[in-house]
Amino acid sequence: MALKQRLLYLSGQSTDPRSPAISQALHEPVRGSIVEIDPTKTGLDYDSVYEAICDGWRVVHFPDQRGSLEGSEVEVFGYQFVLEKMEQFDD
Amino acid sequence: MTSATTAFEASGVSAQNLLNDDQVADFVINGYHIVEPQFPAEFHSQIYSDLEVLPTNPGDEINKAVPNIDEIYEHPAVRGALSSLLGADYSLAAHRHCHRNHPGTRSQVWHQDSLNIPTLDDGHGRVSDHVQSVLVMYYPQDVASNMGPTALIPGSHLFTASGDRNASHGNFRDQIVAVVPAGSVLILHYDIWHAGTANTSDQVRYMVKYLFERESESAEPSWNHDAANDDRIFERLERDDAALIQRSLVGKRNYRRTTMWNNLAGSAGLSYEYRDKWSGEWPKPNV
């Protein structure tokens, strides 16, 4: 067993952690695991970053307060939080 | 109804095949439209069989390798939708492609299709306020959710994506996946954010993609337009949700929706007049 970091990328509608979640990607610390669009799944695991925190996730990166490239030629949807959970995994 | 109908009848498309105001508004808002042209089931299964025996990917020559595919794109229901969105004189681009999504295929990342296609006429770049090009995807077999359906983000055609910055997104809350019956035709604004997804089934999923282009600017609506709908359409363009996005993009989104509609409608465009949207009943207290 080894203590490893699970990563959850969760984008909110705003910088408020209680704002509705727009997208998610979960990275498991298991070699060979993949992260991709899952067409068989509806909805997200958490409705907001706050809901994930209540479930034990810890924020390790907060989105930039300066906005989402407003005025730029390119756009990014949502404000991305990165959360972690440290858990034991079989090596 | 618009007098443009006569121009379409001259091109072989009847008025009954054209879209109506709400269908065009749906496309402006969401960036996609689905057509189910009527063919016998055997027609699609034969195309599937023909694709299965191709020794290599014929690329742009897919229509020569499997000529029956052209009939899909010539069907009046498909031509009517394309005429409504691109004008009666739309053209077929030289670029075509058959996607073979075999069992075990991994998901693509969210992307907008490349602009680096020499066969596109004018190299017009991203067009967030008009419909200059459409992707038209045909599925010759039923597509279940585990067969790698095309996924898209409704409304994303109004924004220019940065692939690098979007790489850390996985599933979007409001993504749409094209779980469709055999023979379905999915018309997409060229700039919509989309992806082929993972095929975890034991069946090959085919998708044949053609591109169509606008050849001239609209002088009037190229669909079944009724000016009596204008106020309601204007409201829809301002209020209808597509995928959830941050509030800072909503104003830009709504402006581009209305501009796109007006570019499509020509002389019948909506006028930007001040409207008091906030009068009415007081909000109810939360109890």
Residue B2 pLDDT exceeds 50: no
**Res B163: pLDDT:** 76
Residue of B nearest to A22 (CA): B173
Sign of the Cα pseudo-torsion (B81, B85, B91, B94, in order):
negative
Distance CA(B91)–CA(B89), nearest Å, equals 7
Contact residues on chain B for A61, CB-CB shorter than 8 A: none
CA-to-CA separations, B196 to A71, A86, A87, B181, B286, in angstroms, rounded: 30, 32, 32, 17, 44
B29 in Cβ contact with B95 (< 8 Å) = no
**Res B126: pLDDT:** 85
Instruction: Judge: B149–A39 Cβ closer than 8 Å, yes or no.
Output: yes
> B110 CB near a chain A CB, below 8 Å?
yes
Q: Which residue of A23, A68, A75 is in closest CB contact with B160? A: A75
Q: Looking at the predicted complex, does its ipTM rise above 0.85? A: yes
Distance CA(B23)–CA(B34), nearest Å, equals 10
B66/chain A closest Cα distance in angstroms: 29
Give residues with Cβ within 8 angstroms of B271, minimum separation 6. Answer: none
| Mean pLDDT computed over B4-27 | 81
**Res B278: pLDDT:** 79
Question: Across the strands, what pairs with B90?
Answer: none
Contact residues on chain A for B245, CB-CB shorter than 8 A: 13, 22, 77-78
Q: Provide the residue range defining the domain that includes A51.
A: 2-89
Distance CA(B148)–CA(B139), nearest Å, equals 12
Strands B205-213 and B171-172: unpaired
CA A35 to chain centre: 12
Q: Which residue of B156, B169, B179 is in closest CB contact with A25? A: B169
**Res B113: pLDDT:** 87
Query: Taking the CB of residue B46, how many other CB atoms lie within 10 A of it?
Result: 15
Query: If you count residue pairs, one on A and one on B, with CB atoms under 8 Å apart, how many are there?
Result: 106
Least confident of B27-31, B60-64, B270-274: B270-274
Least confident of A54-68, B143-157, B223-237: A54-68
Per DSSP, B156 falls in state G
Contact residues on chain A for B156, CB-CB shorter than 8 A: 77
Per DSSP, B147 falls in state B
Question: Across the strands, what pairs with B26?
Answer: none
Residue B3 pLDDT exceeds 50: no
B248 in Cβ contact with B29 (< 8 Å) = no
Instruction: Judge: B166–A77 Cβ closer than 8 Å, yes or no.
Output: yes
Residue B22 pLDDT exceeds 60: yes
CA-to-CA separations, B186 to A20, B150, B182, in angstroms, rounded: 29, 10, 12
Q: Which residue of A22, A36, A44 is in closest CB contact with B106? A: A36
Least confident of B160-169, B216-225, B254-263: B160-169
B139 in Cβ contact with B183 (< 8 Å) = yes
> B146 CB near a chain A CB, below 8 Å?
yes
> B195 CB near a chain A CB, below 8 Å?
yes
Output the average pLDDT for chain B: 91
Instruction: Judge: B198–A39 Cβ closer than 8 Å, yes or no.
Output: yes
CATH architecture group of domain B5-213: Sandwich (2.60)
Residue B124 pLDDT class (50, 70, 90 cuts): low
Residue of B nearest to A42 (CA): B173
Contact residues on chain B for A79, CB-CB shorter than 8 A: 246
Short-list A79, A80, A84, CA closest to A27: A84
Residue B57 pLDDT class (50, 70, 90 cuts): very high
**Res A3: pLDDT:** 96
Q: Which residue of A11, A40, A75 is in closest CB contact with B159? A: A75
Instruction: Judge: A37–B245 Cβ closer than 8 Å, yes or no.
Output: no
Q: Please report, for chain B, the start and end positions of each structural domain, with discontinuous segments joined by +.
A: 5-213
CA A50 to chain centre: 11
CA A91 to chain centre: 24
B106 in Cβ contact with A34 (< 8 Å) = yes
Distance CA(B137)–CA(B152), nearest Å, equals 13
The number of domains in chain A is: 1
Question: Across the strands, what pairs with A26?
Answer: A8
Residue B125 pLDDT class (50, 70, 90 cuts): confident
B167 in Cβ contact with A21 (< 8 Å) = no
Contact residues on chain A for B243, CB-CB shorter than 8 A: 22, 77
Contact residues on chain B for A26, CB-CB shorter than 8 A: 170
Instruction: Judge: A67–B248 Cβ closer than 8 Å, yes or no.
Output: yes
